[in-house]
Chains A and B, each alone.
Chain A
Amino acid sequence: MKPAYRLFALLAALPLASMAQQQVTIVTSFPKELTSIYQQAFEKRNPGVKVEILNKATAAGVAYVRELRVGERPDVFWASAPDAFEVLAKDGLLVKFDPGIKGIPNKIGNYPINDPQGFYLGQALAGYGIMWNTRYLRANKLPEPREWADLAKPVYFSHIATSSPSRSGTTHLTMETILQGEGWAKGWEQILRIAGNAAAITERSFGVPDGVSNGQYGIGLVIDFLGLAPKNSGFPVEFVYPSVTAIVPANIALINGAKNAEQGRKFIQFSLSPEGQELLLDKTISRLPVLPETYKKAPADWPNPYTGKIRAKVNFDSDLAEARYYVVSSLFDQSITFRHKELVAAARAINDAEKKLAAKPNAQAAKQIAEAKLLAYSPVVDETKAKDQEFLKIFRDTKRSAETTKRVTALEEHWANEAKKNYARAVVLANQAAKIAN
């Protein structure tokens, strides 16, 4: 055979090799450490069964399942964002399944752990918080932050990293938690101030813990296990839950039309069993189990959401979050992600002016700074608009006609221009104030 033919024969034979045994296929957005620990444990317990992992970003995973025919689909969907499971359930891509595990409470705070309709199950709990690099903070002589409001302070200028809600489901939940905890106007003020202090708006949620772990950034906004896992693996980082946080479950579900539903059920059962829950305590995973029993086996300082040690002040409203999902994401991108340079310039000018003013108080300058802050730190969409159902509906329409595209584009353009104008004006005002105070 010519080499070319030999190569093709080899390639064609590749798929055959893996067909010999029983197989359970899992679509997940979780990192490899987590999945491979479950994979090894499940295979050890069920000889002859192979666990095949398909690692996909949550949204891509949903699209992937949707594209496949009944009977060809993977067996289990396993990811953080509850909204993805809502979408799958609405499209008829999940089947109800009761694994019959005892001892898991119905609710965490006001949030149901399992889908009330029974389509998906909570497999771990997650809260949102702040992580920081201890070496970075020491070298730059910065105090340790405790609350979201701390991150809005001028001392942290250019030391923070966060992702964008349109890029990362967990960042969306974080921002939504702040908005629900503080209210629309005050929440956006806080978000804009934090973003003004940010050194980067990272493209992936993973970019934040990675950048903080290796010291590129001092402080980051993350989901808990992204902060706890590097800490437990020896990186010089710390993680804290601020009081305005929410605890929501990460989920697992059986896919409708799966190739091997039998093994899929077994895997879900395993992941919720005491043995499967205990795996979450592995230091490279560092997640919060849903089974309260499991916390007895955890190290003493392991955060336990069932004891009230995490002060989750926000009762997360997922309907509200879903209704304004696209508006929050798009508003964030138009006024922060794509206008970050201008926002940072405004924040810098305001900080400088305030510093000068503190040394030499002046009423007129103070007024100008207050005006500059109002311009720079107010959302370009007000609260009434954000509650307008008609307005929200334009953005929810994912199969957009040319007409809607035009309307959305015009709105986004308007926001971007408003934001840019406000930031520029804030810089002018702050500079004037600084001159007076000089």
Chain B
Amino acid sequence: MGLAIAAFLGVFLIAPILTVIYVAFADGAGGFTLSHFASFFQITLMRESFFNSLYVAGVTVLVTSLIGVPLAYFTVRFRFRGAAIIQTLGVLPLIMPAFVGASAMQLLFGRSGSLNLILLDAFDLSIPLMDGLNGVIFVESLHYFPFILLNLSVALANIDTAMEEAAQNLGSSGWRLFRRVVFPLALPGYIAGASLVFIKVFDDLGTPLILNVTNMLAPQAYLRVTSIGIDDPIGYVICVLLVLFSVGAMAGSSWFLKGHDFATLQRGGAAGLRRQLTPWQALMAYSLVIALLLLVLSPHLGLLLLSLSRVWSYSVLPDAYTLANYSAVFRDSTRMMLNTLAYCGGAALLDVVLGTAIAYLVLRTRLPGRQWLDHLSTVALAMPGVVLGIGYLRSFRDVELPFGMGPLLGSGLIFVLAYSVRRLPYALRSCNAALSQVHLSMEEAAQNLGASRGRTILRVVVPMMMGGILAGFVTSFITAAGEISETILLTSRESLAPMSYGVYLYMQSIAGRGPGAALGVLAVILVGLGTYLSNRLVIARQASMERR
């Protein structure tokens, strides 16, 4: 099994990366050179970009934590009305491609956005929320905090409630209880989420570009490759640096987690064991959560308004409303919606199967080189979609599918593969976190009772990991649905295109962005519904297992 996974990663991930690394060190005549790296560090702009990228990624982790931690804590550990809705709504930002979110937010928070027009009118003042690096941090924070919310929620739900009760019996409560007991136990989930946020922001291309911020690493790589040419080595040097940093962040987080034991004996999180908020706490908690949700949902609100508007220009709200955008989208794009479901569903399924397998191999076996499977798949995080896409186009251009189904590049399968490779790390983080919370004694008990290893995995390990696996599936699915840079490269025909490509295409429209916004709203609804249903499914499954 280890070999099969290694082969998959080798063909669909490592080969394209090696091409990138090769170009970064090649001197053009088949020899090795470090001169491209030397050139890179001599450029002031590159050093500045490097610093800016680090700064933006770091501050974004901070801001996402401020949003994600309270949402996760209040909804999972307390009796909180509407917790399921919050969990679902909180995931929504991820499914909206970053450039869509950013352009909707410009209409609300930009220099002539609704907020600033109101402020200008009332106080003759405007807030530059969307300008420069701050704008990037603002947009990225609202876009990526679900990574922390999702991972932390699962981790919190898995903590043995006996721990908390013990602490409470010893007189601990409130902030101290959270800081000393609950949060440390949930650290694997938090670290998994925070390192994902860091890496995603560090690599993100769409948001800085839509906000016209070019002094960052990923935009520089993209600008070099697209304006100077695919053969410009500096672009590849940046890619190599992105890879190095992401691998570094991942290795750092797993090194940190390895030094501690987070396993608790029992899975917790049954609804009856949630704590009650005092009225005063409840007021605080609800107002905090509602304020955060409003902020988080504002891009969606903006998108909805845009999709219903005929003309929206230099005004607080659109001039006139219409449903024409939706009818245009339904006329032209039902095929794209089906494609999105098929590609992203397939990719996410592949991801959780691979993710569970890798997590198990790494944490539970002594297979030589098993850590490398983990490291290898993590590298996919740092692969800019553009580079992976180009690598695919080059490597697979002569590959034909069996049974006369035509070239691989002309089929939907290529999307499933490309999406699954880049989303595998998300699924893997979730599966890893879930498995590290399953105590080994559970499996030992099953095997003592005579269960084979396979049976133990299927009947004990996987069901106990189910929450994490599902979180992985959902994260993979929704981020794949919003992926755009690979998609643009790999879409060879409109009939093959998924929704994200459709949104991109419609957003390029010159006579208003209405149809693009309408398609974006439909994408949000589609994936939001999917997330909600899969949450319900898991709850039903857990309930039935508990009855057994």
| A contact residues vs B (CB 8 Å cutoff) | 3-4, 7-8, 10-12, 14-18, 25, 31-33, 36, 52-56, 59-60, 63-64, 67-69, 72, 133, 135-136, 139, 166-167, 199-204, 206-207, 209-210, 213-217, 225-226, 229-230, 232-237, 283-284, 326, 329, 333-334, 337-338, 341, 398-402, 405-406, 409-410, 412-413, 416-417, 420
Contact = CB atoms under 8 A, between A and B. Distances in A.
A415 to B, nearest CB: 10
What are the 9 tightest A-B residue pairs by CB atom distance, in nearest-first order? Answer: A215-B314, A233-B511, A166-B227, A401-B28, A135-B314, A229-B510, A409-B39, A11-B412, A402-B27
29 contacts: A4-B346, A7-B346, A11-B342, A11-B411, A11-B412, A12-B405, A15-B410, A15-B412, A17-B495, A32-B506, A52-B495, A55-B494, A67-B394, A166-B227, A167-B223, A216-B110, A216-B113, A230-B512, A233-B311, A334-B45, A338-B45, A338-B214, A398-B231, A405-B35, A406-B35, A409-B234, A410-B39, A416-B45, A417-B44
B313 A135 contact: yes
Nearest to B511: A233
A215 B190 CA distance: 40
B210 A52 contact: no
A203 B214 CA distance: 8
Of A215, A283, A402, A416, most buried by chain B (CB within 10 Å of CB) is A402
A190 to B, nearest CB: 21
Nearest to A209: B510
Given A400-B232, A402-B28, A410 B42 contact: yes
Interface in B325-351: 332, 339, 342-343, 345-346, 349
B112 A216 contact: yes
B21 to A, nearest CB: 15
B210 A234 contact: no
Nearest to B405: A12
B25 to A, nearest CB: 10
B489 to A, nearest CB: 8
B510 A284 contact: yes
B376 interface: no
B118 interface: no
A388 to B, nearest CB: 20
Contact of A15 (B406, B494, B508, B509): B406
A64 B510 CA distance: 24
B232 A405 contact: yes
Interface string B71-114: 00000000000000000000000000000000100110011110
A302 to B, nearest CB: 16
A409 to B, nearest CB: 4
A229 B489 CA distance: 28
Nearest to B401: A12
Contacts of A333: 223, 227
Interface in B487-512: 488-489, 491-496, 505-506, 508-512
Nearest to A404: B28
A53 B501 CA distance: 13
Given A32-B506, A215-B314, A400-B231, A11 B493 contact: no
A31 B232 contact: no
Given A15-B411, A54-B492, A400 B342 contact: no
Interface in B202-231: 209-210, 212, 214-215, 219, 223, 226-231
Nearest to A234: B311
Nearest to A167: B227
Given A203-B214, A401-B28, A7 B342 contact: yes
A229 B511 contact: yes
A63 B510 contact: no
A217 to B, nearest CB: 8
Contact of A401 (B29, B43, B212, B410): B29
A225 B313 CA distance: 19
B416 interface: yes
B310 interface: yes
A354 to B, nearest CB: 24
Contacts of A60: 226, 488-489
Given A10-B342, A338-B215, A33 B510 contact: yes
A402 B28 CA distance: 7
Given A10-B342, A213-B512, A409-B39, 7 more contacts: A8-B346, A11-B413, A11-B416, A200-B212, A214-B106, A215-B313, A216-B111
Contact of B508 (A32, A234, A401): A32
Contact of B314 (A7, A33, A166, A236): A236
B312 interface: yes
Contacts of A55: 494, 505, 508
B397 interface: yes
B300 interface: no
Contact of B412 (A14, A215, A410): A14
Contacts of B35: 402, 405-406
B241 to A, nearest CB: 16
Contacts of A18: 493, 495
A402 B405 contact: no
Given A8-B413, A225-B510, A337 B232 contact: no
A399 B29 CA distance: 11
A88 to B, nearest CB: 16
B349 A7 contact: yes
A11 B412 CA distance: 6
A133 B214 CA distance: 26
B36 interface: yes
Contact of A67 (B112, B209, B397, B491): B397
Given A234-B311, A399-B28, A216 B106 contact: yes
A215 to B, nearest CB: 3
A230 to B, nearest CB: 6
Given A207-B212, A402-B28, A135 B315 contact: yes
B528 to A, nearest CB: 21
Contacts of A230: 510-512
A215 B43 contact: no
Given A12-B401, A53-B494, A409-B43, A32 B311 contact: no
Contacts of B129: none
Contacts of A17: 495
Nearest to A283: B511
Interface string B382-408: 000000000001100100010101110
B423 interface: no
Nearest to B489: A60
Contacts of B495: 14, 17-18, 52
Nearest to B312: A214
B447 to A, nearest CB: 27
A63 B43 contact: no
A10 B223 CA distance: 37
A237 to B, nearest CB: 8
A8 B417 CA distance: 11
Contacts of A67: 393-394, 397
A413 B405 contact: no
B112 A215 contact: yes
Contacts of B394: 67
Contact of B313 (A12, A56, A213, A401): A213
Nearest to B345: A7
B233 interface: yes
B212 A202 contact: yes
Greatest chain A CB density within 10 A among B110, B111, B509 is at: B509
A297 B535 CA distance: 59
Given A12-B401, A401-B28, A409-B42, A233 B512 contact: yes
Contacts of A10: 342
A405 B314 contact: no
B39, B103, B113 pick with most chain A CB within 10 angstroms: B39
Contacts of B342: 7, 10-11, 14
